[in-house]
């Protein structure tokens, strides 16, 4: 009873006959309450000094680092019409297994013997190239023979010219000798005429001497004629050399012209052969695209194109496949404010969707059902959701992740940071400071002092 009213009933009521009133008025209940409050305060005070592991929470999903281990879509390289399906959703396929067969829809490839006919054209053109090769070889041999004949003929004409020059020299010497003989005979005749006029020589001697002079003159004229003839032979030999050289040069030029024409025709034919080879290879490669095969081992997850006879274009997705082998990782997203605190090699506790867990944020060692991870990569650009992506791989020192995990499953992640007292963590949360940054040495992670943490918080506040 509080005894607030001025009309008290304590004098008319025997409080000891009521147990509740006896307990209320007893001083023992107050002492017990004080002891309980003191105990709670002491336990709370001690609790404030227990260690607390700071952490960064973030949601994420299961993925993989290798691009070829992620779900992928199988496309059609060429346009066609679906003829037959060999798989269904949920089937497991090996690399190279046939998935679907398609047929042509372009009229340029309707011919069922297109490859055989293209090979026949290619063989014909290749034979033409071989024929041109033989013609070129024949023309080359012909040119070599003409050049050799030209060399021999020129040597023969040079020899004739040399003979003509030697003959000209011999005739020139004969002419000079006959000329000297004629001059001597003429002088002798003049002297004998003078003696005949003086009566010292007879007329017969005079006539004999005149006859000898006429014979010397005739020989001189004959020698001069031979000299002129020898000179003409020298000129004729030179003309014949020029004519022979011009004739053979003309023949060689014609043969070379035919050779160049044959080479040009060969190159044109070779170009056509290359085009046919390219066309044939394209046809053969295109025919291999009729059967669309699995690029790797995996499971067919979804058929995008369905039915028989459906027309598809180049690059049309047909179905999706999940690779059989995948090295799983977790992609978690953190706030930009927490990005400077994250570094490669830091530890992460992960809770996978579908695996119940009891999580204590500040005491990761007491959490149950979580799995260990290690930061392996941090994006250099922000994601579309305004957060930064961090890739986490399994921690080799922790128990392995569940085998039943699938790519795309959700996760709840805790990035472990510094160990601090609980009172400090409460004070940080109330003031809105970021978690403490910590560095690691070669042996183990070491935390910075509270003073350095205060400096970091000051710098962080300054940045804000």
Q: What is the pLDDT of residues 199-233, one digit of tens each?
A: 777 788 888 888 888 888 888 888 888 888 888 98
Q: Is 80 exceeded by the pLDDT of residue 430?
A: no
Report helix, strand or coil for 415.
Answer: strand
Q: Is 80 exceeded by the pLDDT of residue 274?
A: yes
How much is the pLDDT for 333? Answer: 93
How much is the pLDDT for 307? Answer: 82
For helices 203-288 and 114-197, give the axis angle rounded to 10 degrees: 170
Q: Is 80 exceeded by the pLDDT of residue 154?
A: yes
Which residue shows structure tokens 């030029």?
253
Please state the φ and ψ torsions of residue 321, each to the nearest 5 degrees.
-135, 140
The mean predicted confidence, pLDDT, of the chain is: 81
Distance CA 14, CA 107 (A): 116
Q: Which residues pair with 413 in a beta bridge?
A: 58, 350
Q: Is 60 exceeded by the pLDDT of residue 450?
A: no
Just give the CATH number of 54-68+326-448. Answer: 2.40.30.170
User: What is the mean pLDDT of the segment spanning 420-448?
Assistant: 58
How much is the pLDDT for 408? Answer: 87
How much is the pLDDT for 138? Answer: 92
How much is the pLDDT for 442? Answer: 36
Token digits of residue 170: 């011999």
User: What is the mean pLDDT of the segment spanning 25-32?
Assistant: 61
Q: Are 185 and 219 in contact (CB under 8 A)?
A: no
Selected from 3.40.50.880, 1.10.287.2610, 3.40.50.300, 3.40.50.2300, the CATH number assigned to the domain covering 114-288 reads 1.10.287.2610
How much is the pLDDT for 449? Answer: 36
User: What is the mean pLDDT of the segment spanning 153-157?
Assistant: 89
How much is the pLDDT for 462? Answer: 40
Termini Cα distance of the chain: 58
Q: Are 407 and 63 in contact (CB under 8 A)?
A: yes
Q: Is 60 exceeded by the pLDDT of residue 245?
A: yes
How much is the pLDDT for 364? Answer: 56
Q: Is 50 exceeded by the pLDDT of residue 239?
A: yes
CATH top class, domain 71-104+290-323: mainly beta
Full-model pTM:
0.54
Q: What is the pLDDT of residues 7-20, one digit of tens each?
A: 666 666 665 666 66
Q: Choose among 160, 100, 443: nearest CA to 293.
A: 100
410 Cβ contact partners less than 8 Å away, ≥ 6 residues apart: 59, 60, 61, 62, 352, 353
Neighbours of 459 (CB within 10 A): 11
Please report, for the chain, the start and end positions of each structural domain, with discontinuous segments joined by +.
Answer: 1-47, 54-68+326-448, 71-104+290-323, 114-288
Distance CA 442, CA 445 (A): 8
Q: What secondary structure letter does DSSP report for 99? A: E
Q: What is the pLDDT of residues 292-325, one digit of tens each?
A: 999 888 989 888 888 888 888 888 899 999 888 7
Q: Choose among 449, 460, 461: nearest CA to 424.
A: 449
Q: Is 84 left (phi over 0), alpha (psi -120 to 50) or beta?
A: beta
Q: What share of the chain is helix, strand, coil (3-state, %, to 5)?
A: 50, 20, 25
Distance CA 49, CA 26 (A): 37
How much is the pLDDT for 11? Answer: 61
Q: What is the pLDDT of residues 364-411, one digit of tens each?
A: 555 556 888 999 999 988 888 889 999 999 988 888 888 888 888 899
Query: What is the residue-wise DSSP string for 345-410?
Result: T-EEEEEETTS--B--TT-GGG-BS-EEEEEEEE-SS--TTSSEEEEEEE-TTSPPPPTT--TT-E
- Banded pLDDT at 273 (limits 50, 70, 90): very high
Q: Are 15 and 21 in contact (CB under 8 A)?
A: yes
Does this chain's domain 71-104+290-323 share its CATH topology with 114-288?
no
Q: What is the pLDDT of residues 67-119, one digit of tens each?
A: 888 888 999 989 999 999 999 888 999 999 999 999 998 888 888 888 899 99
Q: Is 80 exceeded by the pLDDT of residue 291?
A: yes
Q: Is 60 exceeded by the pLDDT of residue 445?
A: no
How much is the pLDDT for 447? Answer: 39
Q: Is 80 exceeded by the pLDDT of residue 279?
A: yes
Q: Is 80 exceeded by the pLDDT of residue 32?
A: no
Q: Alpha carbon 440 to chain centroid distance?
A: 40
- Banded pLDDT at 275 (limits 50, 70, 90): very high
Q: Are strands 298-303 and 328-334 parallel, antiparallel or unpaired?
A: unpaired
Q: What is the pLDDT of residues 183-198, one digit of tens each?
A: 888 888 888 888 888 8
CA angle 219, 196, 185 (to 5 degrees): 15
Distance CA 171, CA 165 (A): 10
Q: Choose among 346, 344, 350, 355: nearest CA to 330.
A: 350
Neighbours of 139 (CB within 10 A): 19
């Amino acid at each position: 009873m509080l005894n607030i009213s001025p009309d008290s009933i304590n004098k008319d009521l025997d409080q000891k006959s009521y147990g509740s009133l006896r307990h209320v008025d007893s001083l023992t209940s107050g002492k017990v309450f004080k002891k309980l409050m003191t105990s709670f305060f002491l336990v709370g005070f001690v609790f404030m000094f227990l260690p607390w592991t700071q952490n960064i929470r973030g949601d994420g999903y299961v993925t993989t680092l290798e691009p070829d281990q992620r779900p992928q879509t199988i496309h059609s390289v060429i346009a066609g019409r679906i003829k037959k399906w060999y798989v269904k959703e949920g089937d497991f396929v090996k690399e190279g297994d046939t998935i679907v067969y398609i047929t042509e829809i372009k009229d340029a490839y309707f011919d069922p013997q297109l490859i055989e006919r293209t090979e026949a054209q290619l063989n014909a053109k290749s034979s033409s190239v071989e024929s041109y090769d033989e013609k070129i070889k024949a023309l080359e041999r012909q040119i070599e023979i003409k050049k050799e004949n030209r060399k021999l003929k020129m040597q023969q004409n040079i020899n004739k010219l040399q003979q003509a020059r030697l003959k000209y020299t011999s005739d020139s010497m004969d002419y000079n000798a006959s000329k000297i003989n004629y001059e001597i005979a003429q002088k002798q005749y003049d002297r004998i005429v003078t003696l005949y006029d003086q009566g010292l020589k007879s007329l017969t001697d005079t006539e004999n001497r005149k006859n000898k002079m006429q014979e010397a003159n005739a020989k001189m004229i004959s020698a001069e004629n031979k000299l002129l003839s020898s000179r003409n032979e020298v000129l004729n030999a030179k003309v014949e050399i020029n004519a022979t050289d011009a004739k053979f040069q003309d023949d060689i030029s014609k043969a070379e012209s035919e050779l160049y024409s044959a080479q040009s025709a060969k190159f044109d034919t070779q170009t056509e052969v290359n085009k046919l080879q390219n066309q044939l290879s394209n046809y053969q490669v295109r025919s291999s695209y009729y059967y669309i095969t699995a690029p790797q081992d995996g499971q067919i997850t979804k058929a995008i194109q369905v039915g028989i006879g459906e027309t598809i274009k180049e690059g049309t997705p047909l179905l999706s496949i999940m690779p059989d082998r995948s090295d799983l990782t977790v992609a978690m997203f953190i706030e930009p404010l927490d990005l400077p605190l994250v570094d490669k090699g830091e530890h992460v506790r992960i809770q996978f969707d579908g695996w119940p867990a009891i999580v204590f944020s500040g005491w990761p060692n007491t959490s149950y059902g979580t799995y260990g991870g290690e930061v392996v990569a941090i994006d250099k650009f922000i994601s579309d959701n305004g957060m930064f992506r961090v890739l986490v791989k399994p921690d080799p020192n922790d128990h392995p992740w569940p085998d039943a995990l699938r790519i795309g499953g959700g996760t709840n992640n805790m990035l472990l940071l510094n160990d601090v007292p609980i009172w400090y963590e409460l004070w940080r949360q109330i003031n809105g400071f970021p978690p403490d940054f910590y560095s690691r040495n070669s042996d183990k992670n070491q935390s910075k002092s509270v003073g350095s943490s205060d400096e970091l918080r000051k710098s962080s506040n300054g940045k804000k």
